[in-house]
Amino acid sequence: MTFKQISWTAVLFLTTATAATPQDVSLNAPGADDSLLTLLKDASLSRSVSDEEDPQPQDYVAAARADYRRLLTALYAAGYYSGTISIKVNGTEAANLAPLAAPEQIDTIDIAVDPGPLFTFGVASVAPLAPGTELPEGFATGEDAKADVIRQASSNARTAWRNQGYAKVEAAGQQIVARHNDNELDASVTIAPGPKLTFGALTVTGNDKVRTSAITRIAGLPTGEVYDPEELTESARRLRETGAFDSVALTEADDIGPNDTLPITVAIAESKPRRIGVGLEYSTVEGIRTSAYWMHRNFFGGAENLRFDAEVAGIGGGTGGIDYSLSTALKIPAIYGPDTDLTATAEISREDEPDYLIDSASTEVLVSRLITKDLEIEGGFGLLTAKEVTDLGTRNYTLLTAPLSVTYDKRDSETNAKNGYYIKATGTPFLSVAGGSSGARGYLDGRGYYSFGTDDRFTIAARGQVGTLIGTDEADAPADYLFYSGGSGTVRGEGYKSLGLDQTVDGETVTTGGTSFAGAQLEARVGITDAISVVGFYDYGYVGGSATPLTDGADQSGVGLGVRYDTGIGPIRLDVGTPASGDDQFKSVEVYIGIGQAF
């Protein structure tokens, strides 16, 4: 018996399965090219039964009977509508075998497929179309009549209508006719857009500790405006980014509300409010850096995030003494519109570096606004008071600051980017209230990533940094506003902040930071397995004595190799670097261990 049937349900809704190849199952399709043969093999369920644990004869018979529809669907997917399929189990057509009356032993399953001629589109129509609809290139008269193309054309048409506010658009009808004498397929799909809708009321479910009013404010769904599916995506993103919820799901009502409105329901599951964490990093130069934090993700009941951090760094390192810091931050989401957040911070710290010692206390109030999903602007005001000890003497100062930053992030991952780019520009004017001097510090950080090869196995990553300090000089500027080079953030292989500027003061040589900086880092990353990759890198840094980068200064460079182990939440990083310039070229090595890529 042979099986020959046209199933138009299969034309628009395809399912395929990847299968293995048992030795007792054969599939022959004379006249099929390699791509069609692969499609048929992948669709066959019979070929995978032997991979299951302890398969029984009835399992093989059931799989063989199911393969008629599966193979027919595969033929339609490739544009073949006159095919014949024969599946014989021990020489008997599988369609004549009852699943529960299978032979005691299955010796052979022979699958024979005659695909017949390839069909092309005679008529290819989807109507009506919303303005700007883009149909698949293959959905046109004379093109191969692949079922997937019909399904995609219908999907594209419905998506275009939804994007213009017609949330309940549907495919109202379809007429698909195979003209076997001409080897052509006529496909006509009728679209029913329905009414143009506006967003109705937002109903919140599942919340317990987080106020409903806060969830509605953070979601920022534009009630009363024309429906746009992107707004649903953005609302869900805003809620997830608060960190207060384990899950967020927005669903549209089945029925249209009064006055052509579409009610929306958001179902959320709240996260446990409190969280603690610890961190540990190590390098041979900077020593051990350990940190801990406590966080509350719903401090006032409106998804406010309160966090306390403590850090001790420089343990056992060659970076001066041990650094300490204790800080707190309160972030209030949707303070003025759904995409505007407020963050208030306070910190006390001791920074014991080779060329300076600073005890400081600072506070900032910052407002950040997401302009697009990739572009964010942040600005505010701060107050910094510090006691500074350097070779130039001891001084106390208090500064008013006005930090401003712009971030444009097109990376595909924050912790392990393979493609895209990242740019962040920061400017911090500072005004002396007592002691010190006034001026402004600027910094630009740009990163780019490009991957190629199978599964993006090879990645080229590059980073450029430029900094400048204007309105003051090395002697008057805050020591931690000056620029140095060396260490994991600038030049691996060189000592931490090992490159500054030497000045002669009262006959003695004094080292300070520079008033400009330019740096570059280049990495070649190669995946060895799904989790392990190796990295080769070259870093360069230049510290300048004027506000113009790459002038009146000195440079250094480093090279090395690294290993990455991907944990799923970010790679564990091990880098070994050595100086590539200067008197100690290739004479020493530095080791760096941390979480996440170097940049």
CATH value at residue 465 = 2.40.160.50
DSSP per residue, 4-26:
----HHHHHS---------TTEE
Sheet of strand 109-114: strand arrangement:
25-28, 109-114, 84-89, 92-93
Tens digit of each residue's pLDDT (9 = 90 or more) over 9-66: 333 333 333 333 344 789 999 989 999 999 999 999 998 887 778 888 888 999 999 9
CATH number at residue 181: 3.10.20
5 lies in a domain?
Answer: no
pLDDT band for position 503 (cuts 50, 70, 90): confident
CATH number at residue 297: 2.20.130
DSSP element (H, E) containing 320: none
Residue 452 and residue 354 in one domain:
yes
Distance, CA of 465 to chain centre: 23
Tens digit of each residue's pLDDT (9 = 90 or more) over 131-157: 999 999 999 999 999 999 999 999 999
Q: Report how far residue 466's alpha carbon sits from residue 308's, in angstroms, rounded to the nearest whole number.
A: 31
Q: Report how far residue 491's alpha carbon sits from residue 538's, in angstroms, rounded to the nearest whole number.
A: 8
Nearest 5°: the CA angle 347, 352, 356 is: 110
1 lies in a domain?
Answer: no
Q: What is the mean pLDDT of residues 87-115?
A: 89
For residue 20, the model assigns a pLDDT of: 33
Residue 306 and residue 365 in one domain:
no
For residue 279, the model assigns a pLDDT of: 87
Q: Supply the pTM of this predicted model.
A: 0.77
Taking phi over 0 as left and psi of -120 to 50 as alpha, with beta for the rest, 471 belongs to left
Residue 415 and residue 476 in one domain:
yes
- Boundary of a domain, candidates 270, 304, 321: 270
19 lies in a domain?
Answer: no
219 or 355: whose pLDDT is higher? 219
Q: Report how far residue 285's alpha carbon sits from residue 280's, in angstroms, rounded to the nearest whole number.
A: 15
Q: Report how far residue 173's alpha carbon sits from residue 159's, in angstroms, rounded to the nearest whole number.
A: 17
- Crossing angle for the helix pair 229-241 and 212-219, nearest 10 degrees? 120
Contacts of 456 (CB under 8 A, 6+ apart): 418, 419, 527
Residue 78 and residue 134 in one domain:
no
Q: Report how far residue 400's alpha carbon sits from residue 320's, in angstroms, rounded to the nearest whole number.
A: 28
Query: In the beta sheet, which residues pair with residue 78?
Result: none
Half-sphere exposure at residue 60, Cβ-oriented, CA atoms within 13 angstroms: 26
**What's the structural domain count of the chain?**
5
17 lies in a domain?
Answer: no
For residue 509, the model assigns a pLDDT of: 83
Q: What is the mean pLDDT of residues 409-422?
A: 95
- Boundary of a domain, candidates 270, 293, 321: 270
Q: Report how far residue 319's alpha carbon sits from residue 201's, in angstroms, rounded to the nearest whole number.
A: 58
Nearest CA to 529 among 453, 457, 471, 590?
A: 457
18 lies in a domain?
Answer: no
What tokens were used for 244? 């207060």
Query: In the beta sheet, which residues pair with residue 109?
Result: 25, 89
Output helix, strand, coil percentages for the chain, rounded to the nearest 5. Answer: 15, 50, 35
Nearest 5°: the CA angle 575, 577, 580 is: 155
What secondary structure letter does DSSP report for 586?
T
- Which range among 1-5, 158-162, 248-252 shows the weakest confidence by mean pLDDT? 1-5
CATH number at residue 241: 3.10.20.310
For residue 354, the model assigns a pLDDT of: 84
Residue 157: Cβ-neighbour burial (10 angstroms; 0-12, 13-18, 19+): buried
Residue 254 and residue 297 in one domain:
no
230 or 102: whose pLDDT is higher? 230
What tokens were used for 1? 């018996």
Q: Report how far residue 31's alpha carbon sits from residue 23's, in angstroms, rounded to the nearest whole number.
A: 23
Residue 544 and residue 477 in one domain:
yes
- Which range among 140-154, 327-341, 415-429, 498-512 shows the weakest confidence by mean pLDDT? 498-512
* Domain carrying residue 79: 24-114
For residue 243, the model assigns a pLDDT of: 94
What are the distances in angstroms from CA 36 to CA 9, 31, 183, 252, 263?
Answer: 20, 10, 18, 40, 46
Do residues 199 and 225 make contact, with C-beta atoms less than 8 angstroms apart?
yes
For residue 282, the model assigns a pLDDT of: 81
Do residues 354 and 320 make contact, with C-beta atoms less than 8 angstroms apart?
yes
Taking phi over 0 as left and psi of -120 to 50 as alpha, with beta for the rest, 230 belongs to alpha
520 lies in a domain?
Answer: yes
451 lies in a domain?
Answer: yes
DSSP element (H, E) containing 68: helix 57-78
Residue 391 and residue 540 in one domain:
yes
Nearest CA to 111 among 50, 42, 41?
A: 41
Residue 353 and residue 442 in one domain:
yes
Half-sphere exposure at residue 149, Cβ-oriented, CA atoms within 13 angstroms: 23
Q: Report how far residue 5's alpha carbon sits from residue 69's, in angstroms, rounded to the nearest whole number.
A: 9
Contacts of 479 (CB under 8 A, 6+ apart): 353, 355, 356, 358, 388, 390, 512, 513
> Per-residue pLDDT for 4 more than 50?
no
Tens digit of each residue's pLDDT (9 = 90 or more) over 539-593: 999 999 999 999 999 999 999 999 999 988 889 999 999 999 998 899 999 999 8
- Strands 25-28 and 109-114 come out as parallel
- Boundary of a domain, candidates 147, 172, 192: 192
Q: Report how far residue 463's alpha carbon sits from residue 446's, in angstroms, rounded to the nearest whole number.
A: 6
Do residues 28 and 112 make contact, with C-beta atoms less than 8 angstroms apart?
yes
Do residues 474 and 501 make contact, with C-beta atoms less than 8 angstroms apart?
yes
12 lies in a domain?
Answer: no
Cα dihedral across residues 111, 114, 118, 124: positive or negative = negative
Do residues 383 and 398 make contact, with C-beta atoms less than 8 angstroms apart?
yes
Nearest 5°: the CA angle 62, 67, 72 is: 155
Q: Report how far residue 80's alpha carbon sits from residue 72's, in angstroms, rounded to the nearest whole number.
A: 9
Residue 262 and residue 295 in one domain:
no
For residue 359, the model assigns a pLDDT of: 96
Residue 33 and residue 59 in one domain:
yes
DSSP element (H, E) containing 232: helix 229-241
Residue 415 and residue 563 in one domain:
yes
Residue 174 and residue 127 in one domain:
yes
For residue 14, the model assigns a pLDDT of: 34
For residue 10, the model assigns a pLDDT of: 38
For residue 499, the model assigns a pLDDT of: 94
For residue 13, the model assigns a pLDDT of: 34
